[in-house]
Structure 1
Amino acid sequence: MGRLSRPAQTAQVTITHSYMARDYAWSVQLPIVQKRMRTTLLRAIPPRPLLTKPIVQRRCYAVQTPGAPTVEVFNSRTKWQQKERAARDVEGSRSVDYLRDEVASRLCERLLDINRRFPKVLDLGANACNIARILTAPNPDPVSEEPVSEPLATRIDSLICAEHSPALLHRDADLPFNTKLSLTRELLPSEETLPYDANSFDAVLSSLSLHWINDLPSVLAQINNVLKPDAPFMGVMLGGDTLYELRTSLQLAELDRRGGVSTHTSPLADVRDIGGLLQSAKFQLLTVDVDDIIIDYPDIFALMKDLQAMGESNAVLGREAGGIRRDVLAAADAIYKELHGNEDGSVPATFRLIYMIGWKSSPKQAQPLERGSGMVSIKDILEKQGGNIHDGGDGKGSS
């Protein structure tokens, strides 16, 4: 866990159509139209053979459009607009990069554990290329206080930063880190579709973007497809109890002021689901861990302002239009400080990070032996190590 400081009647027909949890009714007026009967003479037509072409057996299948999620939770258009609006304020957007930079740094630390070169790497959902900036920074030596180790960028020949928001993707294109590695920015037509060939990347990284994906299983399967055999995927996303302090405070404030609760924070994946999703996407050698970052803010207004500047505002489908009422916000701020506040009057915000590592399968990887193939007794091993193993009278082993 880490803590950061914040810098329309006659005959009527009613049709009811059920969609999600809401019912819609349409009333259709059926006018009475009188028509005069008309006599038509029919001419006999010579019979024709019923079949003029050979029978071709066909079978129809119901298929889902590739990339179209079964259930949509987030409004992708709204999220794109939020990112674009936030990135146009360059200085304001850069000032709230503290969270993305810290998470990217922790993700790159995990990359240090893999002792190999990566000729071609994909940064999926690159935001403002935060990972690229961290890769070019010198690594602090574990013994000395001086940064003497070479940057991680020296182990990467080519880095492709892919992002759906053009303004955010090119926000920092003029900064010096762009010249310290072979960096290519590519604009994605959709954040849920990867337009890359199979077996084309030596590694795929993703930092703080996957939590806005509607069809996460499909995206993970696509990541596995574009990876080369025995290549890693390393990602981190917000999940679990992220911003639980803000969520509970807004819910209690709305119950008090409005007598009901609306959605103001996004639903997030739980850490228990990530392993199953990676396994369904055919990843091997899985590693999933959780880390918390707690950031202190002066009040709830500062927290929500920073979230908006990050482009991380609520984008759930069916959310209430317009902003939150001022009296609700004032009540939420008081509840926030009462339930979760610090002694100095500031309020903490918890960001729960779910890190995941999965490898594309390869014959080179270590494979488990088949069940029942064990030919060595653990008793023999322990005896060789000097343990005194014997069977008791009740048939239970003891030492």
Structure 2
Amino acid sequence: MNDSTGAVPHRVFDPAALAARRRRARLLGAEPFLLERVAEDLADRLAAVNRRFPLAADIGTPSGELAATLRGHPGIGRLVSVGPPERPDAEIAFDGEILPLAPASLDLAVSALAFQSVNDLPGLLAQIRRALKPDGLLLAALFGAGTLAELREAFAIAESETTGGISPRVAPFADLRDLGGLVQRAGLALPVTDIDRVVVRYANPLALFNDLRRMGATNPLADRLRTPLRRATLARLFEVYSERFADADGRLRATFEIAWISGWAPHESQQQPLRPGSAKARLADALRVEEGKLPGH
């Protein structure tokens, strides 16, 4: 989409590269442990909501783990998979930018580990808000800012020492506070955000790289270098990672930060903030102090 000047906005992620990486992951044999964890957690979170959702959509999730977990969930009637074209079981194709759903058509929208690679996340959240019926719920998990912090630091040091500069190697992920603001900006009420940090240990960086390939999570940045990684840079990366992020047994830590966001399409039944000046009692009376004075003053 062009802005009012006719200029094309900068795209952080390359959709074609992202699709190619997901196809390669299936050929290699997908590594689903993070998606399975998120799917189970999401099912548990829905179980705590005392509501039934007749029509739900799984939006953007790169594979079928979430849909498989939620089908038969007592709180969900029908679940529709709205996924990337390369996802075999997707019932509705979704390119990550334009959501093909009618306004006020959903009772529930869920997503697992997909929104972090959307170029226009505020726009997508606004589209989901429009697709939700009043009092409909969005519940989604995406990679947060601390994801692969160890790899990002090791890459930065290794490249700066061996090439004299730093290139985009690890995707930028959103901070939790920013995500809460985006949920509100999209027009969703009662926003909630929280973090689940998962630390995985590997024998060496190559084992981490292999898992990332099988997750379809290797570098999809539009500004990524198209040249192979230098051998000297890779060797220095291994050294830095082992020096800084190894446990006592020599295994290396890799952090995956899973950010959870939720919000409700506004409805008159929801709790509303009090209007200014509508309080029935004075704060000074509750604290048992004189007006204009704080305790101890």
TM-score when normalising by structure 2: 0.91
Does the CA contact (< 8 Å) of 1:243 and 1:349 recur in 2? Answer: yes
- Give the equivalent residue in structure 2 for 1:83: 22
Equivalent position SS for 1:365: coil
2 CA distance for matches of 1:370 and 1:390?
24
1:296 aligns with 2:201: yes
Instruction: Map residues 251-290 of structure 1 onto 2, 5 A cutoff.
Output: 251-290=156-195
Cα distance in 2 between the residues matched to 1:323 and 1:101: 32
Q: What corresponds to 1:358 in structure 2?
A: 263
Whether the aligned pair in 2 keeps the contact of 1:83 and 1:165 (CA below 8 Å) is no
* Corresponding residue number in structure 1 for 2:280: 375
**Greater Cα radius of gyration, structure 1 or 2:** 1
**1:326 Cα deviation from its structure 2 partner:** 2.6
Does the CA contact (< 8 Å) of 1:188 and 1:194 recur in 2?
no
Q: Equivalents in 1 of 2:64, 2:293: separation in Å?
A: 63
CA distance in 2: counterparts of 1:187 and 1:308, whole angstroms = 25
Taking the aligned partners of 2:169 and 2:289, their CA distance within structure 1 comes to: 64
Instruction: Name the amino acid aligned to 2:240.
Output: I
2:47 aligned residue: 112
Q: Distance in 1 between the 2:251 and 2:164 partners?
A: 28
Counterpart for residue 70 of structure 1: 9
Kindly report which structure 2 residues correspond to 1:8-27, keeping only aligned pairs within 5 A, or say none.
none
How much does 1:350 deviate?
Answer: 0.3
Q: Which amino acid aligns with 2:192?
A: T
Q: Does the residue aligned with 2:263 lie in a helix, a strand or coil?
A: strand
Change (3 A) 1:127 1:396: closer
Partner of 1:156: 76
> How far off its partner does 1:306 sit?
1.0
Instruction: Give, in whole Å, the separation in 2 of the partners of 1:290 and 1:367.
Output: 26
Does residue 1:320 correspond to 2:259, yes or no? no
1:395 to 1:340, Cα distance in 2 relative to 1, 3 A: closer
2:34 corresponds to 1:99? yes
Q: Distance in 2 between matches of 1:70 and 1:99?
A: 32
The residue aligned with 1:55 is none
- Tell me the equivalent position of 1:213: 118
In structure 2, relative to structure 1, the CA distance for the partners of 1:371 and 1:325 (3 Å cut) is same
Deviation for aligned residue 1:76? 0.9
Q: CA deviation at 1:206?
A: 0.8
Secondary structure of residue in 1 paired with 2:195: strand
In 1, Cα distance between equivalents of 2:113 and 2:5: 28
| Among candidates 142, 166, 184, match of residue 237 of structure 1 | 142
**Deviation at residue 107 of structure 1 after TM alignment:** 2.2
Q: How far, CA to CA, are the matches of 1:304 and 1:117 in structure 2?
A: 41
Change in Cα spacing, 1:338 to 1:199, as seen in structure 2 (3 Å) is same
Maintained 8 Å contact 2:197/2:255: yes
Counterpart-to-counterpart distance in 2, 1:346 and 1:69: 45
User: Within 1, Cα distance between the matches of 2:8 and 2:265?
Assistant: 24
Residue 252 of structure 2 corresponds to residue 347 of structure 1: yes
Aligned residues: 294
> Is residue 246 of structure 2 the alignment partner of residue 311 of structure 1?
no
Q: Distance in 2 between matches of 1:102 and 1:198?
A: 31
Aligned equivalent of 1:35: none
Secondary structure of residue in 1 paired with 2:275: coil
Structure 2: 5+ residue runs without aligned partners? none
Question: Using the alignment, how far apart are the partners of 1:283 and 1:230 within structure 2?
Answer: 9
Counterpart pick for 1:165 among 61, 85, 105: 85
Q: Normalising to structure 1: TM-score of the pair?
A: 0.69
Preserved CA contact (<8 Å) 2:60 2:94: no
Does the 8 A contact of 2:85 with 2:94 survive in 1?
A: no
* % identity of equivalent residues: 33
The whole-number CA distance in structure 1 between the counterparts of 2:163 and 2:293 is 69
Q: 1:395 to 1:189 in 2, by over 3 A?
A: closer
Amino acid at match of 2:27: R
The structure that is helix-richer by fraction is: 2
Structure 1 residue runs without a partner (length 5+): 1-61, 137-151, 171-184, 383-388
Tell me the amino acid that sits aligned with residue 125 of structure 1.
G
